[in-house]
Amino acid sequence: MTTSVSTAPALAWEADALEQALQGILAGLRVEVVAATGSTSTDLRERQRRGDTRPVLRVAETQHAGRGRAGRAWISAPGASLTFSLALPLAPRDWSGLSLAVGAALAEAIEPAALRLQLKWPNDLWLRDAGPAWRKLGGILVETVPLPGAVPGGGRGCVVGVGLNVKPAQAGGLDTGGMATGYAAVQEIEAALQAPTLLARVAPALVRAVLCFEREGLPAFAAAYARRDLLHGQRVRAAHADGSVGVVEGVAEGIDASGALRLRHAAGVALLSGGEVGVRPTATQEP
């Protein structure tokens, strides 16, 4: 285990034991735990740009500049949330749908015996309440980096960033009043889970999922994703993140083989890629 700040982490992460377990899945993988950093994903992307391609799982108790999709900020506090990133060189035949595969693997690891924890395309984990209400529990951000000296069409550096809410907002001392998506936490599913034990559960699932995706692609995760597809059969509206294209409303019909969202609307079926659009339920379905 290595740390890059003088302040020691406050929680008992048992990083050496986790590193040993993960090296049984991916040889040479290192585990780093720091008390605080700007962003674990940014840290690892910069290393890859400098040519350091060693596999690393980097955990931060607090992120000062954590972010989600489209640059959105991610709330982070010691023990109240779990924020970490996995970096490794990867060479899948098709990169499409990696965030969906990761989401399916994380959801199965957190809640294997039920389907209350669901996946909101393209990269979020949401907790479904009774009726039409749901709240955001976590997010995934996948980024790739060209590796110095890589041949055209070869592998790229891959960084998978994960943020999970562990404690309910009040227990974690978090101010979530401005969150339009609502706030859900892992302890609503399993009250005894703490950030270090949650990491020990989900990290092996994440590493296995990324390696499986490299070999087999999204089809290996299609059934698991379909079981937890929050939007399937829901009327949603979709718009490009920059607002440059008009809103399209329709009924979500799952994903295609590449991970694009199938949206049936008045003119037919639109295929929406994760890099182009943001999706929210229509106003009548929002909690």
In the chain the domains, ranked by start, together with CATH numbers, are 15-227 (3.30.930.10), 235-285 (2.30.30.100)
| pLDDT range class, residue 280, cuts 50, 70, 90 | confident
Whether 254 shows a pLDDT value over 80: the answer reads yes
Pick from 89, 86, 223: which is nearest to 154 by CA?
Answer: 89
Residue 286 pLDDT: 46
| pLDDT range class, residue 71, cuts 50, 70, 90 | low
Pick from 276, 279, 275: which is nearest to 254 by CA?
Answer: 279
Q: What's the mean pLDDT in 66-83? A: 71
Of 265 and 74, more confident = 265
| pLDDT range class, residue 50, cuts 50, 70, 90 | very high
CA distance 147 to 157: 6
CA distance 25 to 177: 40
Average pLDDT, the chain: 87
CA triplet 81, 86, 89: central angle to 5 degrees? 165
| pLDDT range class, residue 6, cuts 50, 70, 90 | very low
Residue 75 pLDDT: 57
Lowest mean pLDDT among 25-34, 51-60, 73-82, 100-109: 73-82
Question: CB within 8 A of 216, min separation 6: which ones?
Answer: none
Q: What's the mean pLDDT in 62-89? A: 79
Q: For a pLDDT cut of 90, what percent of the chain falls above it?
A: 69
- pLDDT tens per residue across span 76-130: 678 999 999 999 999 999 999 999 999 999 999 999 999 999 999 999 999 998 6
User: Both tokens of residue 265?
Assistant: 């609307």
| pLDDT range class, residue 260, cuts 50, 70, 90 | very high
Whether 45 shows a pLDDT value over 50: the answer reads yes
| pLDDT range class, residue 5, cuts 50, 70, 90 | very low
CA distance 138 to 120: 10
> What pTM value is reported for the model?
0.90
* Residue 281 DSSP label: E
Q: What's the mean pLDDT in 22-46? A: 97
Whether 39 shows a pLDDT value over 70: the answer reads yes
Residue 61 pLDDT: 96
User: 34 near 62, Cβ under 8 Å?
Assistant: no
